[in-house]
Amino acid sequence: MEEEVFEKYEGFKWDEGNSEKNWKGHKVTIAECEQVFFNKPIIVASDEEHSKVESRYYLLGRTDINRKLFVVFTTRKELIRIISARDMNKKEKEIYNEEIKKHSKV
């Protein structure tokens, strides 16, 4: 899924259990989960392993205060549904930082 695809979506659909789980388990707020979709660069890929029932994707992105998150989501009609979110691990940060370097003008 290319990041430009997000333009067709109208917003987010939240499951109360998932938003509570993200907060309790990883201290990630709903707002932070949504912010990563708007702060470039983002890396989006299909999560083939967990796409048995529905297509799932993962995203590496950053919040408005530069918190780097790994977000798993699916899409339902014109909405993005967040499944889980957590801080990026070391390897994910390395991948994301390389992407930042590619987009840097320096």
Q: Read off the tokens for 68.
A: 């780097």
The pLDDT, as a whole number, for residue 50 is 61
The pLDDT, as a whole number, for residue 101 is 87
Identify the DSSP state of 38.
T
The pLDDT, as a whole number, for residue 24 is 86
The pLDDT, as a whole number, for residue 90 is 98
The pLDDT, as a whole number, for residue 106 is 52
Q: Are 78 and 70 in contact (CB under 8 A)?
A: no
Tens-binned pLDDT, residue by residue, of the chain (106 aa):
445 557 678 899 988 777 788 788 899 999 999 999 999 899 999 887 766 778 899 999 999 999 999 999 998 888 999 999 999 999 999 999 998 888 776 5
Residue 9 neighbours by CB distance under 10 Å: 15
Parallel, antiparallel or unpaired: strands 43-46 and 56-62: antiparallel
